[in-house]
């Protein structure tokens, strides 16, 4: 007697996985933005990076690292305090691949000076590509890179740590940093009674010979697996910045006691912690009482990475949505051929193209700021504005990308649910939306002439584009009003849109005109696809977004 087969259906009309793709070559807007901002010579190495990170192997590592979250091991088997964070091997593999590519240090020379050239632009392209695969591990990568800017305030500490930071090796062993092949650095600023208001910090630092002893707590201590941290604490002179290693100079585990790991909405592969310091050893960084001025050098770079990562998440959402729509049929036609879906996807593609043009333009400013006052002013004024707009755009964008896949986008087997949960952290971390708006106002107040010069440059770069003149006038009027803080979000969003238009105009004048027409000349509707783009423009945008 023949047994009936158990199979009840064939699987068809499903899109193939979006992997084993060269993420760089498949992204014409990225390649154009890198080239427009000085990074064309790195295209071959970016192709190699894009192929590697676009592989099925890397996609699987990202999935596994997020499904097997970090665990805090407070004590060893004998009762000794250890405060170790244990990770799945997939996480360590992701870290090793990013470190090998220099994502954590390639913008610095071996002695901790800015690398110059297009180092920021090229490194940002790598960061953008890696964020499309797994974003959580990039938190310690970001902070390690950014910490060098703060350590520069203390040349003796920079000189002894930089040889270890500068290696392209990842060493996850729990050992003193000076014995390791490579090191990572984290940050501790936020306390229970004040997140944004770090001046309310109650953690205290007391002198101990040439070093300091720190007692207190941090409500959020980022990346507790790191080898050292930059920490804010109060001295008699005021809030100061300190270098706090996991191991004291005598090789004993430092008195850094992790209370628990945060149970976060997203960013699951990465650990964040609550911590207490019980007379932990630390060394002063910069001038005593000038801790904010010291650590803000680090914060500026981490804000830059928040914007890059958000753009990368949106790019991944767009690519997965396009991949699905081109293989899925509904009502006897491919989704990608349906007019409404074309309207949605092309509008999303336009947003992503403007976003990547803008963040690469910002990275060019970081590259040139040390020698070009105009670029330095652009960097100071627009970093918070670009972080505000890019990071706050991402959650809504990724929701729309999920909807393009229907139910398949909502389940955890796919990457978009993870991207969606990941996306809010970039707007929250290193300054919420309101803080970014206040920082723009602060930059305008402190450097009015330099800011005015930036606005004049944006006016020149958007001349003749729809709505640019009116947007510039509105921005100027808003910032001059006595109640400018009340309407700062509106003005900062317009500033970011104008800057995005200018940046896109250097990359793709045709698409800059479309972006200006739908974002400056008109107020963009609340939903993607609620714009009137011609069939020709839609097809061109989608072909450029993903061949």
Query: How far is CA 55 from each of CA 42, 48, 104, 293, 534, rounded to the nearest angstrom?
Result: 20, 11, 21, 42, 35
Q: What average pLDDT score do residues 307-332 get? A: 96
pLDDT range class, residue 227, cuts 50, 70, 90? very high
pTM of the model: 0.97
pLDDT range class, residue 5, cuts 50, 70, 90? low
Separation of alpha carbons 38 and 16, rounded Å: 35
Q: What average pLDDT score do residues 501-530 get? A: 97
pLDDT range class, residue 522, cuts 50, 70, 90? very high
Higher pLDDT, 197 or 75: 75
Q: What average pLDDT score do residues 406-411 get? A: 94
Which tokens belong to 227?
């080898």
Residue 545 has pLDDT above 70, yes or no: yes
Residues 485, 439 contacting (CB under 8 angstroms): no
Q: Which helix (H) or strand (E) holds 393?
A: helix 373-404
The predicted structure's pLDDT at residue 1: 56
Helices and strands in the chain, H and E counts: 19, 11
Q: What average pLDDT score do residues 416-440 get? A: 96
pLDDT range class, residue 194, cuts 50, 70, 90? confident
End-to-end, the C-alpha distance of the chain in Å comes to 52
Q: At which residue do the structure tokens 């107040």 appear? A: 445
Separation of alpha carbons 477 and 475, rounded Å: 6
Best CA proximity match to 541, nearest among 507, 514, 501: 514
């Amino acid at each position: 007697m023949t047994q009936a087969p158990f199979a009840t259906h064939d699987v068809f009309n499903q899109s193939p996985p979006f992997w084993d793709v060269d993420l760089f070559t498949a992204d014409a807007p990225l390649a154009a933005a890198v080239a427009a901002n000085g990074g064309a010579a790195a295209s071959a190495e970016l192709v190699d990076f894009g192929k590697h990170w676009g592989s099925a192997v890397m996609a699987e590592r990202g999935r596994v690292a997020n499904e097997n979250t970090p665990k805090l091991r407070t004590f060893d088997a004998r009762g000794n305090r250890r405060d170790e964070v244990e990770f799945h091997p997939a996480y360590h593999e992701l870290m090793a691949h990013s470190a090998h590519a220099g994502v954590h240090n390639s913008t610095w020379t071996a002695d901790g000076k800015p690398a110059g050239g297009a180092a920021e632009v090229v490194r940002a392209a790598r960061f953008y590509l890696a964020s499309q695969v797994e974003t959580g591990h990039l938190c310690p990568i970001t902070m390690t890179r950014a910490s060098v800017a703060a350590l520069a305030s203390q040349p003796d500490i920079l000189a002894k740590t930089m040889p270890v930071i500068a290696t392209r090796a990842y060493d996850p062993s729990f050992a003193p940093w000076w014995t390791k092949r490579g090191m990572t650095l984290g940050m501790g600023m936020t306390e229970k009674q004040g997140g944004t208001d770090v001046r309310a910090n109650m953690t205290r630092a007391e002198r101990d010979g040439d070093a300091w002893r720190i007692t207190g707590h941090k409500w959020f201590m980022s990346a507790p697996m790191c080898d050292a941290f930059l920490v804010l604490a109060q001295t008699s002179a005021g809030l100061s910045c300190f270098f706090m290693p996991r191991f004291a100079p005598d090789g004993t585990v430092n008195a850094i006691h992790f209370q628990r790991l945060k149970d976060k909405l997203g960013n699951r592969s990465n650990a964040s912690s609550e911590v207490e310091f019980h007379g932990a050893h630390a060394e002063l960084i910069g001038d005593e009482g000038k801790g904010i001025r010291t650590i803000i050098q680090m914060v500026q770079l981490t804000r830059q990475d928040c914007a890059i990562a958000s753009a990368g998440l949106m790019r991944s959402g767009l690519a997965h949505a396009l991949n699905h729509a081109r293989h899925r049929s509904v009502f006897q036609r491919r989704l990608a051929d349906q007019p409404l879906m074309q309207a949605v996807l092309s509008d999303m593609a336009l947003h992503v193209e403007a976003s990547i043009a803008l963040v690469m333009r910002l990275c060019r400013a970081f590259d040139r700021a040390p020698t070009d006052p105009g670029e330095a002013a652009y960097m100071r004024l627009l970093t918070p504005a670009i972080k505000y707009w890019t990071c706050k755009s991402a959650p809504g964008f990724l929701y729309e990308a999920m909807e393009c896949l229907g139910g398949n986008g909502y389940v955890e087997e796919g990457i978009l649910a993870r991207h969606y949960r990941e996306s809010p952290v970039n707007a929250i971390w290193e300054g919420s939306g309101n803080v970014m708006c206040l920082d723009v106002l602060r930059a305008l107040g402190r450097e009015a002439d330099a800011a005015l010069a930036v606005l004049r440059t944006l006016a020149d770069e958007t001349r003749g584009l729809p709505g640019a003149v009116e947007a510039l006038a509105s921005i100027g009027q808003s910032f001059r009003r006595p109640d400018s803080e009340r309407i700062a979000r509106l003005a900062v969003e317009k500033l970011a849109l104008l800057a995005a238009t200018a940046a896109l105009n250097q990359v793709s004048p045709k698409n800059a005109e479309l972006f200006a027409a739908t974002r400056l000349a008109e107020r963009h509707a609340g939903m993607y696809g609620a714009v009137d783009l011609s069939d020709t423009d839609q097809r061109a945008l989608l072909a450029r977004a993903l061949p």
